[in-house]
C-alpha cells in the first residue's frame, strides 16, 4: 500500500496468511530527525505528532485503537496475551512477544533495526508478534513464541507460517566476539556470523539466519518462512535505523491480527 500526504505506507508479504503490516517512515507528520511516520513515544519526538502518526497507521490497518496490544520490550524471551498486557497496563508489561487467537485484537511490536517476526497458524487462526533483537534471539524468544502458540492455542509447529519484516542486515551489522560467543553457547551454528574482512577482531551478524535456525529447531519448516528482504540500515529513504542514525531516530511497527 502506497502513501499519500496523510496515508502511511504499509508493507505486506503476499505469502503470509494473516492480516499484517510493517510500517515505513513514510506518511506521517513528524519532523527531522523523526521524519515522518515515527511511532515511538519515548525517542524525543513531539507527543502530538506521534499520536497522529499512530492514529493514521491504525486507521490504515483497520485496527480499533482500544484493541491494540503493546508490551514494554526489554530484549528478553517473555510472551504475553493481550489480556495479560491489558491487566498490567497496555505497554507497561515487560515482554518481547505477544500471542492471540482473538481477531478483535491487533498485536503490535516496535523496532528500528531489530527483526520483527510474525507467526500464524492458518488452521486455528492464532498469531504471534515477536521482537527479535540479538539478545532476545539468544534468550530463546523465537522458541518461546512458537511454544506459546502450541501450548495456548493448539497450534502445530509444522503448520505455522512466519513473516520476517524490515531489520538490519548482515553487511551493516558489525558486532564483537562476545555476541558471537553468546550465539555459539546458545547452540546456534557458526554461519550466523562471519569475520569482518576489514577488522578481523569484529564480525558481521545475520539475525535473520539465527531466527530461521530457531524456527527450524522449533519445528517450523523453512519453506513456511517468508521475508521481504528489507534492510533498515541500507534504505534510509524508507526506514529508520538505530545503528545508522546513532540512536537519534524513529520507530516502526509490525502489526498482526488473528483470523
Q: Could you give phi then psi for residue 217, rounded to 5 degrees?
A: -75, -10
* pLDDT score recorded for residue 1: 45
Per the CB < 8 A criterion, the answer to whether 239 and 24 are in contact is yes
10 Å Cβ neighbour count for 30?
A: 22
Q: With 0-12 CB in 10 A as exposed, 13-18 as middle and 19+ as buried, what is 42?
A: exposed
137-149: pLDDT as tens digits: 999 999 999 999 9
154-173: pLDDT as tens digits: 999 999 999 999 999 999 99
* pLDDT score recorded for residue 87: 81
Q: Whole-angstrom Cα distance, residue 191 to residue 131?
A: 22
By three-state DSSP, how is residue 179 classified? helix
Q: What is the CATH number of domain 10-168+207-212+221-257?
A: 3.60.140.10
| Global confidence as pTM | 0.96
* pLDDT score recorded for residue 88: 74
Residue ranges with strand state E in the chain: 10-11, 20-23, 68-69, 79-80, 97-100, 106-111, 115-120, 127-132, 161-164, 174-175, 193-196, 199-205, 225-227, 252-257
Question: Is the predicted pLDDT of residue 94 greater than 50, yes or no?
Answer: yes
Which residues does 154 contact at the CB level (< 8 Å), separation at least 6? 124
Partners of 231 in beta bridges: 167
Amino acid at each position: 500500500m502506497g502513501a499519500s500526504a496523510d496515508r502511511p505506507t504499509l508493507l505486506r508479504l503476499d505469502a503470509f496468511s494473516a492480516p499484517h503490516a510493517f510500517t515505513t517512515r513514510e506518511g506521517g507528520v513528524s519532523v527531522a530527525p523523526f521524519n515522518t511516520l515515527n511511532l515511538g513515544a519515548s525517542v524525543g519526538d513531539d507527543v502530538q505528532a506521534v499520536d497522529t502518526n499512530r492514529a493514521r497507521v491504525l486507521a490504515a490497518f483497520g485496527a480499533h485503537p482500544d484493541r491494540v496490544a503493546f508490551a514494554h520490550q526489554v530484549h528478553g524471551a517473555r510472551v504475553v496475551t493481550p489480556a495479560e498486557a491489558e491487566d498490567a497496563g497496555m505497554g507497561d508489561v515487560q515482554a518481547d512477544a505477544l500471542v492471540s487467537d482473538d481477531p478483535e485484537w491487533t498485536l503490535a511490536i516496535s523496532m528500528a533495526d531489530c527483526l520483527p517476526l510474525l507467526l500464524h497458524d492458518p488452521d486455528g487462526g492464532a498469531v504471534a508478534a515477536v521482537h527479535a533483537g540479538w539478545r532476545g534471539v539468544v534468550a530463546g524468544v523465537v522458541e518461546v513464541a512458537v511454544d506459546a502458540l502450541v501450548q495456548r492455542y493448539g497450534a502445530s509447529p509444522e503448520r505455522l507460517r512466519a513473516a520476517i519484516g524490515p531489520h538490519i542486515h548482515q553487511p551493516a551489522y558489525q558486532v564483537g566476539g562476545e555476541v558471537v560467543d553468546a550465539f555459539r553457547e546458545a547452540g546456534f551454528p557458526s554461519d550466523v556470523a562471519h569475520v569482518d574482512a576489514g577488522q578481523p577482531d569484529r564480525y558481521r551478524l545475520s539475525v535473520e539466519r539465527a531466527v530461521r535456525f530457531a524456527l527450524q529447531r522449533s519445528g517450523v519448516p523453512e519453506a513456511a518462512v517468508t521475508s521481504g528482504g528489507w534492510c533498515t540500515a541500507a534504505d534510509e529513504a524508507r526506514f529508520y535505523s538505530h545503528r545508522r542514525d546513532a540512536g537519534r531516530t524513529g520507530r516502526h511497527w509490525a502489526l498482526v491480527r488473528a483470523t
